[in-house]
Amino acid sequence: MQRVLSFQMVRGVNESREFVTKRMCFSFILSIGFLTFLGGYTLGRFVMIRAMEFRAEKRRLELAGNGLENTEHLQRFMLKQLERASLDPDFEMKWDSFNLKEDDIYQVNNILSNLSLIEKVVKCQSHIVATARGAREPDRYVVLSASGEGVGIALKLAKIFNQIQEECTWKPRRSIIFCLFSASSNPCPEILSSFLPHKIVAYIVVDHQALQGKGHFIVSGSDIVQFMVLESASIVKDWFSYDNQLLSSNNTFYNVTTSRLALDIPHAVLSYVNNNITCNEDHHERELHKIILAQIVGQTIWKFSESLIIKWNPSYFNNTALDILKSINNTELLDVKEKVQQTLDKLLTSIKICNKKIDTVDNINTLDTRILNDLMMDLDRILLCPDKQNQSRTDWSKFFRLNHEPSDKIIMYMNEVVKCYENAIQFLQDR
C-alpha cells in the first residue's frame, strides 16, 4: 500500500521520499478516518431518520380518524362482547339494594377491585366510586353514573375494558369513573362536583328506571353530550341492524318526561320511554333493550374517552329548536319567536366558524386539542345556562310543559333562552 501511495514520489526528489510517504500515509489514515466518520454519520443519520419516520408513522396512525381508527377493532370487540352480556350473572342482576343489603356493595367492590384496569375503589354505605386512570389525559374524566340495572351495565363495561387492557395493552386516553349508587337518590354529582367539576368531559346517567319503559330509546341532557349519545346510538343501530322498533333513529326528546338534570356539568340521561301504561313484562324485549342500552353507553364512553377532539355537529340541536319554533303559532308569541330564531341563526353561524377552526388545528399538538376540548366543555355548560338551583334555562322539554301556561310566562322563558344563546355567541366570539 505504501508503494502505491508513494508511486508518484518515487519519480520526485529522492531524499524527501520517506517523509512524503509518511505524510501521505498519515493523510490517508486521516481520510479513512474522515470517511469512516462520514459513513458512520450518514448511517447514523439514516437510522435516526428512519426511526423518526417510523415514530411519525406510528403517531399518524394513532391520530387517524380523530384518534379512533387505530383502535376501531377494540371498539367493535367491546360492542360484540356486550351483545353476549346476558351470559354474565353480574350483568343480569338488578343491584337495587346497596344501602339495604351490605352484601351487594361488598360484591360490587370485590368485582371492581379485582380488575387491574381499576386504579382506585372508594366504597361507602350507599355508593361506590371506581376510577380507571387515563394514559394520556388522566386529569379529564368521563363519568358513568348508574343504579339498579344500570349497575350491571357498568360492571360489564368495566370488565370488558379490563379484558381489552390485559389482552391488547390498551389504556383509555382519558380517565373513566364508575359511580354506582342505590336507587333512592344519586349522590354522584355531589361527590364529583366537590373536587372536579371543570374536569368532567361528560357525565352519563343510567338509573334504575332506564329500562322500565317499553317505548323509544331517549336521551336528555346538555346539547353536546346529547349529540354524542345520539351519534353513538346511530352507530350501534347500523352495526347491529336493529330495527326502528328497538332503536328509532330519529327520536325526539322534547315530548317526553325526562328533562335535563339540575346540574351544571355536561351530561346525558339515557333511558327507554314509558309510553304504555299496560306494561305487561316481555322478558325478551327487556333483555334486548338492556343490551342495546349497554352498547350505546359503551360506545359513548369510548368516544368521549378516546376521541382526540370532541366535535359538535349541531344539526340535531338545530332541528329540535326549529321543530319547537314551528309549533308556536300564537300571535302574542310571534315577536319573541322571531327573536329566538335570529339568535339561533347567529349561534349556529358562530358554531360553524368554530368547527372550521377545529378542522384546521394540527391534532399532533396535544396542547391545542386540549384547549379545544375544554372550550367545547365550557360551551356545553354555557348552553345549559343553569339558574341558581342549577336548573337549565334552555331546556326545550320544559318549554313543552309550559305550553298551556299564560303567554307572558312563555315570553319570559323565551327571553331567557335568547340571553343564554347570546352568552354562548359572545363566548365563541371571544376565542
Q: In angstroms, give the least distance from the CB of 244 to ligand NAG.
A: 7
Beta strand 267-272 with 200-206: parallel, antiparallel or unpaired?
parallel
Complex with ligand NAG: residue 69 or 166, whichever CB lies closer: 166
| Residue 53 CB, nearest approach to ligand NAG (Å) | 40
Nearer Cβ to ligand NAG, position 268 or 308? 268
Q: What cell numbers appear for 128 in the block?
A: 361506590
Helix (H) or strand (E) holding 302: helix 283-306
* CB neighbour burial string for 181-202, b if at least 16 within 10 angstroms, e if fewer: bbbeebbbbebbbeebeebbbb
Q: How far is the CB of 208 from ligand NAG (least distance, A)?
A: 22
Shortest distance (Å) from residue 54 CB to ligand NAG: 35
Task: Find the shortest distance in angstroms from Cβ 70 to ligand NAG.
Answer: 27
Residues that bind ligand NAG (CB under 6 A): 110-111, 114, 193, 197, 250, 252, 255, 264, 276, 278, 280, 315, 318, 322, 327, 329, 348, 352, 389-390
Q: How many whole angstroms separate alpha carbon 28 and alpha carbon 258? A: 87
Query: Got the DSSP string for 154-218?
Result: HHHHHHHHHHHHHHH----SEEEEEEEE-TT---HHHHHHTT-GGGEEEEEEE-TTTTT--S-EE
Nearer to ligand NAG, 143 or 308 (CB): 143
Q: Which of 156/173 has CB closer to ligand NAG?
A: 156
Alpha carbons 159 and 164: distance in angstroms, whole number: 9
Radius of gyration of the chain (CA): 31
CA–CA gap between residue 341 and residue 350 (Å, rounded): 14
Nearer to ligand NAG (CB atom), residue 86 or residue 162: 162
Please give the Cα distance from 319 to 343 (Å, whole number): 15
- Nearest residue (CB) to ligand NAG, 72 versus 387: 387
Pick 155 or 228: Cβ nearer ligand NAG: 155
List the beta strands (DSSP E) in 198-357: 200-206, 217-221, 267-272
Alpha-carbon span 188 to 129, nearest angstrom: 8
Nearest distance from C-beta of residue 277 to ligand NAG, angstroms? 8
Smallest separation, CB 422 to ligand NAG (Å):
17
Q: Min. distance of Cβ 114 from ligand NAG in angstroms?
A: 4
Rank residues 110 and 426 by Cβ distance to ligand NAG and give the closer one.
110
Specify the amino acid at residue 170. W
Question: Given CA atoms 103, 106, 108, 114 in this order, what sign does their dihedral have?
Answer: negative
